[in-house]
């Protein structure tokens, strides 16, 4: 990773200017001019381009570099990225060492550790991430493969406190072009091209094949789909929240939900489950609980995951009893 050949005080080239315009629109909506803003810097092209643009558009920018410790020279790579952030004009930078362990495989464990470190270091300030339109397309494809309903294909939000994603309308090629303009060589994380990881194969094999077969425009179409589904979900979520505010509690009367339209009813039940200790829920689990209210045949209780790290050793069971839905801990 070499330092930029141009001064950080200089405005940069044409491509950087385009990136700055995209970032400026996000900042105007979500970050007051004098407020501290953090940027998650991995040293890759996306986060480097975002950091360079952010340092030119905002006055108080701190770069947060997570060292996952998964490669032999990860500490040196993180230190170089932190120094480069200062060279690009950030007002501060920090390296955040983390320990990667836990359930869900290496990718999930690394993401959990990274998010926890960034959230703590951000201390309530927005933490900007370098996710691009290409990342959004990959996320939608992963959601489609899971088959977990519309919530899984709505993609990432531009603002999901504390996470800011101002580059969701920007192609990955632009971030690489920005780095080239600045004379910066991005760090290439070997995990991004390791075929053992599903997202790496989507990036290297699946999306290029789809673009070829469908003659282009696939990534943009997937991103537009995410935007449309997210808008629909938002409307349905608001309706469900209004219903749940009237009937929610430790138990729910079946008569209060059975007659609701299916999309609203399942959202109400999701709110009820999560409001009473359930954690990350799949569409299959929600539909099984829904059947207790809408397709009752005397079926037994439904196991759902408890909130917290690995459920905190608890097991939750949703069941129907005397015309009410209730959760019990086992």
Residue ranges of the binding site for ATP: 42-47
Residues of the binding site:
42-47
- 246's torsion region: left (phi>0), alpha (psi -120 to 50) or beta? alpha
> Is there a contact between 39 and 64 (Cβ–Cβ < 8 Å)?
yes
Q: What whole-number distance in Å separates Cα of residue 33 and Cα of residue 13?
A: 23
Name the 3-class secondary structure at 32.
coil
Q: Residue 86 burial (CB < 10 Å; 0-12/13-18/19+)?
A: middle
- 311's torsion region: left (phi>0), alpha (psi -120 to 50) or beta? left
Q: Cα 12 to chain center, whole Å?
A: 29
User: What is the β-pairing status of strands 159-160 and 163-164?
Assistant: antiparallel
Q: What whole-number distance in Å separates Cα of residue 49 and Cα of residue 44?
A: 9
Sequence-ordered list of residues with C-beta below 8 angstroms from that of 86, at least 6 positions apart, any chain: 63, 92, 93
Tokens of 147: 């088959």
Closest Cα to residue 254, out of 267, 269, 241?
Answer: 269
Sequence-ordered list of residues with C-beta below 8 angstroms from that of 288, at least 6 positions apart, any chain: 302
Task: Read off the DSSP letter of residue 305.
Answer: P
Task: Read off the DSSP letter of residue 192.
Answer: G
């Amino acid at each position: 990773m070499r330092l930029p050949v141009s001064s950080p005080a200089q405005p940069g080239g044409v491509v950087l200017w385009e990136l700055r315009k995209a970032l400026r629109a996000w900042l105007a909506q979500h970050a007051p001019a004098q407020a501290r803003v953090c940027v998650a810097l991995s040293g890759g092209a996306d986060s480097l381009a975002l950091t360079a643009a952010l340092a030119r558009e905002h006055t108080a920018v701190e770069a947060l570099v997570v060292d996952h410790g998964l490669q032999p020279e990860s500490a040196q790579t993180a230190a170089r990225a932190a120094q480069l952030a200062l060279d690009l004009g950030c007002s501060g930078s920090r390296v955040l060492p983390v320990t990667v362990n836990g359930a869900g495989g290496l990718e999930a464990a690394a993401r959990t550790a990274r998010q926890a470190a960034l959230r703590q270091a951000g201390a309530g300030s927005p933490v900007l991430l370098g996710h691009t339109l290409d990342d959004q397309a990959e996320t939608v494809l992963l959601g489609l493969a899971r088959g977990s309903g519309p919530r899984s294909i709505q993609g990432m939000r531009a603002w999901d406190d504390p996470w800011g994603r101002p580059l969701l309308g920007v192609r990955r090629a632009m971030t690489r072009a920005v780095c080239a303009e600045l004379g910066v060589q991005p760090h290439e994380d070997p995990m991004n091209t390791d075929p053992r990881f599903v997202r790496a194969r989507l990036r290297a094999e699946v999306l290029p094949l789809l673009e070829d077969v469908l003659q282009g425009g696939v990534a943009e179409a997937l991103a537009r789909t995410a935007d449309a589904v997210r808008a629909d979900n938002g409307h349905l979520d608001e309706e469900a929240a209004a219903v749940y505010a009237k009937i929610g509690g430790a138990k729910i009367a079946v008569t209060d939900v059975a007659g609701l339209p299916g999309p609203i009813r399942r959202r109400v039940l999701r709110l009820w489950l999560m409001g009473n200790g359930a954690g990350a829920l799949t569409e299959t689990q929600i539909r099984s609980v829904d059947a207790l209210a809408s397709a009752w045949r005397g079926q037994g209780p439904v196991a759902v995951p408890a909130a917290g790290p690995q459920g905190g050793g608890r097991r939750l069971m949703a069941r129907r009893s005397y015309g009410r839905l209730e959760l019990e801990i086992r």
